[in-house]
Amino acid sequence: MTVPATCDGAGTAEVPPRLAAMVDRMLCLLDRASASVVETGRPCGRRLAVGLGLLCVFPLILLATPHVFVVRWHKDAFIPLEAGWRFINGQVPHIDYYSPLGWLYPALHGWAMQIFGVSAMALIQANLLIMPVVVGAGLLATSGGRLSVWPRLGLVAALGLAVLSPRFADGSVVEIVHLANYNRHGWALATIVLVAALIEPTRRSPARLAAETAMLTGLTLALFYLKITFFAWAGLGLMLAVLLVPANRAVAFFGGAGALAVLAACTAASDLNIGYFHDILQAKESLGGTYGLTERAPGFRKFLGDLWQNVGSLSAIVVIGVWLLRSADGVAERRAARAATLAVMLLAASALAINNQNHQHHLFGLLALLLILLGATVRRAEARQGVAARRAAAGVAALSLIVTAPQVVKDGLAIPLNVLLPLVSPTVKATAIAGTPIDDLMLVAAQNRRKETSRPLTLVMSGELSAEAHEAFELQLTGADVQLLLDDGHRMLSAHAPGATVLSVSFSSWFSFFTGTRPPVGGGLWWHYGRTFSENSPPDADRLLADADVVMLPRFREFDDTEAMWKLIGDAVRARYDIAAQSPLWTLWKKRPDMAHNEGGVK
């Protein structure tokens, strides 16, 4: 049997039956896929449950991880551990190595330590604690007929893996570090806010209205206490929703207003926010510019890197936006297309501006913009009720999947690889710091690894090399040196200042955690000349030393920041403290009894 076909009046051509049947089957599958993307009203509880059940394998793998390990420089993993340690000691630090943070970042790690025990596993558990919020809020933000089941599951999978994955935002799969990355958390929560505020629902009951308003209030508050740049990005999305999306105007307005009201009440009732603002201004002053809210001053090369790393998503956003505008038919479609495109372009530009001042290159927030455009396409397909409109929506969904899949796949692969790598990598070396609350931290320092007999600090400890010679030769620390430093410091503290509150001028972000001592309230999570302090903006010595019973000072060069910090606070330390003990590696300064009594410290 043949199928006649006409080709420009040149007669008839015969199409093979098998080819015709194959084309029909492909078109049928395409139409079914298109219908599943557009159809947002069918019951989908079973498919959602199955999809979420499959995604549960990733947190289960992390729970089975026997050890925590890192392959990058130590501080990136130790900063959150120190933050959690401070939190369970009753402190709420606001500033880390790069930027002012609210209490949520240390709180996640502190809660993990309180629930599961003090361990480096808190780096994994902190991510697991926030997962129910990400999954629940993601499902609520895409409900009410905003998106069908497959885009909803795609959003939950992308955000869930981004939060769980033990790798940096711009790291490769093998560059693994267990880290509750506040940038990933910020992008995830802000993405949910934008999806809920800028995609119109097809149905909304009073109960759903109240739930969505409460969700937007809670997530906006969380973003403020996580990192203020993502709070500003989500706030821009809420303002755009009030201006451009009539169906979401009320929920966006009351969600944002509720968050601001709670923040005002918290500021009036306690000094928590005052301390947060103080550290923001301090970081801004230290940087000598206007970038105190961010991790780094923007640069053109970083901007080009962001463009290159996200060229697929940015191109897809532009293509879909232009197509929405040019294919609009009628006043209502043109108005909806203009609103969606304007909101997405403004948010894309602001996302680039935010990311230009962060460490990472990948913009997770672009996923929200793609879903906003998909939501506009779905609304158009529902109004037109045509096959072509449904196929267009399926095309937008497929393009969004293609441009976001590479990062999602990398995030997913990093999780099982984290379990396998310690079993097969010859460079993984377990370290157990005697007398500390940590026994499961694994360090990989292959780039700095040396033979045991040639480690500079081993020679210093044995007396074959002086600390002055170590400094003169500008020798670098190795991964194994870390254990020597902590062991020696822990022995000194146990012998001369048990139970003291300890300020370490060196290793300031994690010395107290690994020695099991309480850090001072005024100590930062990390010292960095030009970011957290400078000659023009020195640290407040009174605040820094107010409750510090002991100051630990290294006798060798570790970082230039250590020497710079000592120059700024050395006189204040000498005026309040006396040398109580020395070793080849450390000098222990102990607060004089009269100063401890005057300042209310511990003798």
406 and 275 in a common domain: yes
Q: How confident is the model at residue 390 (pLDDT cuts 50, 70, 90)?
A: confident
213 and 327 in a common domain: yes
Please give the Cα distance from 343 to 81 (Å, whole number).
Answer: 38
Domain-located, residue 428: no
Domain-located, residue 39: no
Q: pTM of the predicted model, to two decimals?
A: 0.81
530 and 492 in a common domain: yes
Give pLDDT, residue 446. Answer: 36
14 and 102 in a common domain: no
Residue where a domain terminates, one of 405, 422, 439: 422
Asked whether 582 and 572 are in contact (CB, 8 A), the reply is no
Element (H, E) at 113: helix 104-116
Asked whether 380 and 330 are in contact (CB, 8 A), the reply is no
Query: What is the chain's length?
Result: 603
> pLDDT per residue over 204-255, tens digit each?
889 999 999 999 999 999 999 888 889 999 999 999 999 999 999 999 999 9
Please give the Cα distance from 406 to 131 (Å, whole number).
Answer: 22
Please give the Cα distance from 229 to 355 (Å, whole number).
Answer: 10
Give pLDDT, residue 7. Answer: 44
Domain-located, residue 432: no
Total domains present in the chain:
3
β-pairing, 550-554 vs 441-443, is: unpaired
Domain-located, residue 538: yes
Domain-located, residue 49: no
**Mean pLDDT (whole number) for 524-537:** 73
Please give the Cα distance from 588 to 552 (Å, whole number).
Answer: 5
**What is the amino acid identity at position 335?**
R
259 and 132 in a common domain: yes
451 and 338 in a common domain: no
Asked whether 186 and 227 are in contact (CB, 8 A), the reply is yes
Q: How confident is the model at residue 138 (pLDDT cuts 50, 70, 90)?
A: very high
Instruction: Compare 557 and 494 and report the one with higher pLDDT.
Output: 494
As a whole number of Å, the CA-based R_g of the chain is 28
Given its phi and psi angles, is residue 458 left (phi above 0), alpha (psi -120 to 50 degrees) or beta? alpha
Give pLDDT, residue 602. Answer: 39
**Mean pLDDT (whole number) for 309-330:** 88
Q: How confident is the model at residue 6 (pLDDT cuts 50, 70, 90)?
A: very low
381 and 501 in a common domain: no
β-pairing, 577-582 vs 441-443, is: unpaired
Instruction: Compare 92 and 330 and report the one with higher pLDDT.
Output: 330
Please give the Cα distance from 238 to 256 (Å, whole number).
Answer: 7
CA 514, distance to chain mean position in Å, is 24
Decide if pLDDT at 564 tops 90: no
202 and 61 in a common domain: yes
> pLDDT per residue over 594-603, tens digit each?
876 555 443 3
Domain-located, residue 370: yes
Q: What does pLDDT average to over the chain?
A: 78
277 and 242 in a common domain: yes
List the domain range (segments joined by +) for residue 293.
57-422
Domain-located, residue 435: no
Residue where a domain terminates, one of 422, 457, 492: 422
Domain-located, residue 152: yes
Q: How is residue 107 written in tokens?
A: 């709180």
Decide if pLDDT at 293 tops 90: no
528 and 408 in a common domain: no
Please tell me what DSSP assigns to residue 232.
H
Cα dihedral 192, 175, 527, 300 in deg (nearest 10): -70
> DSSP E strands: which ranges in 412-463?
429-430, 441-443
Decide if pLDDT at 545 tops 50: yes
**Mean pLDDT (whole number) for 90-114:** 75
540 and 451 in a common domain: yes
463 and 332 in a common domain: no
Give pLDDT, residue 515. Answer: 82
